């Protein structure tokens, strides 16, 4: 069966696997205080020359999101996110379990916009201490729909946060895919716009791991205390450092993301030419197709993918490419899509 369910279903890229083999018998201090974590920090910092940052490593995205948000907010403060955001829909209320409300706003192609932020903030200020205080804005890039923020949108969000005294956080679980989608900005720009963001490794070729990057150094001061308290500080922290050495030493992070996007865009273009309707067009490695029940019945026997939404007479499904997706995989999937489309005739 062809695998297009997610971008974290296989192990890791050869560059990381080689490092794991070479260092397997080395001895290290624990908790991210080893030479590989320091090397990874240096390599990542080199991509952000205009901003001095603080970098920590956490094993996975959900743990990263709740640890960052818990560390930043006071007990009465809340985070603004769109209703399709990962913390809103896919993390079992983990942020709210820490005592912080998630204020959900309607998404626009998976995005939040500056005008929404200001209106939300002003609405909460009308009754002031009788409501939670919005203090943090959470966005995903790329979004949960595979869309990507433009430079103008990110600059507008930063300006709105500056005006209102809010922090801006970017969930970068698929940041590589966003940066390799043809946008006119880099990690260097992200570091200027966001108070904190993370660089996703788990969904970009690593065995595991996310690199948390604090541009606002004030927010980083006590972060490791919260990491330890929440079980986010790995004893074998060097394993996370190795992931990012492998990703950033020779640019593998960007090559993996570019490959994922290219494979996905071939599939999306082919499906479009066949006349498949889309839930939403993506510029990254997630593809959202609307299938008839007959098409779904056929494809689900040939391809492993995820149902995204159900309607009475069709299903929206998500196909995802990864570092391990080959051109042969794409060709075979396209053949399946062609056969499924013929079922309409």
Give the burial class of 313: count Cβ atoms within 10 A of its Cβ; 0-12 exposed, 13-18 middle, 19 or more buried. Answer: exposed
Q: What is the share, in percent, of the chain residues with pLDDT greater than 90?
A: 95
Region 292-309 average pLDDT? 95
Specify the CATH architecture of the domain 2-6+253-342. Answer: Alpha-Beta Complex (3.90)
Q: Look up residue 165 and give its two tokens.
A: 């005294």
pLDDT over 70 at 262, yes or no: yes
pLDDT at 345: 65
The pLDDT score that the predictor gives to residue 127 is: 86
Sign of CA dihedral 180, 55, 9, 28: positive
Average pLDDT over residues 22-33: 95
Ranges of each domain in the chain: 2-6+253-342, 14-250
The answer on pLDDT for 311 being more than 90 is no
CATH tag, 14-250: 3.40.640.10
3 state SS of 89: helix
Work out the widest C-alpha separation in the chain, in whole angstroms. Answer: 64
Q: How far is Cα of residue 176 from the mean position of the Cα atoms in its chain?
A: 8
What does the mean pLDDT of the chain come to? Answer: 96
pLDDT tens figures, 244-257 = 999 999 999 999 99
């Amino acid at each position: 069966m062809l695998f297009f369910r997610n971008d974290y279903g296989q192990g890791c890229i050869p560059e990381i696997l080689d490092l794991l083999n070479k260092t397997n018998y080395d001895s290290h201090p624990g908790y991210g205080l080893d030479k590989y974590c320091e090397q990874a920090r240096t390599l990542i910092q080199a991509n952000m020359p205009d901003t001095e940052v603080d970098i920590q490593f956490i094993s996975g995205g959900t743990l990263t999101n709740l640890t960052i948000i818990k560390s930043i907010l006071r007990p009465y403060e809340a985070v603004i996110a769109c209703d399709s955001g990962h913390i809103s829909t896919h993390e079992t209320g983990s942020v709210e379990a820490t005592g912080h409300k998630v204020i959900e706003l309607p998404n626009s192609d998976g995005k939040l916009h500056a005008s929404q932020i200001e209106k939300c903030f002003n609405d909460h200020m009308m009754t002031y201490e009788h409501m939670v205080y919005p203090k943090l804005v959470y966005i995903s890039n790329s979004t949960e729909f595979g869309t990507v923020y433009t430079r103008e949108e990110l600059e507008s969000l930063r300006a709105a946060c500056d005006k209102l005294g809010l922090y801006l956080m970017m969930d970068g679980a698929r940041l590589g895919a966003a940066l390799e989608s043809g946008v006119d900005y880099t990690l260097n720009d992200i570091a200027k716009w966001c108070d904190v963001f993370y660089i996703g490794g788990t969904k970009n070729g690593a065995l595991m791991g996310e690199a948390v990057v604090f541009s606002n150094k004030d927010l980083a001061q006590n972060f490791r205390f919260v990491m330890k308290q929440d079980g986010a500080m790995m004893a074998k922290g060097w394993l996370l450092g190795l992931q990012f050495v492998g990703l950033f030493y020779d640019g593998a992070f960007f090559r993996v993301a570019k490959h994922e996007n290219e494979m996905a865009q071939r599939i999306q273009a082919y499906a479009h030419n066949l006349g498949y309707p889309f839930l939403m067009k993506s510029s990254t490695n997630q593809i959202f197709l609307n299938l008839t029940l007959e098409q779904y019945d056929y494809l689900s026997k040939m391809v492993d993918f995820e149902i995204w939404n159900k309607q009475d007479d069709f299903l929206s499904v998500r196909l995802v490419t990864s570092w391990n997706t080959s051109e042969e995989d794409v060709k075979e999937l396209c053949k399946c899509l062609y056969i499924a489309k013929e079922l309409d005739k």
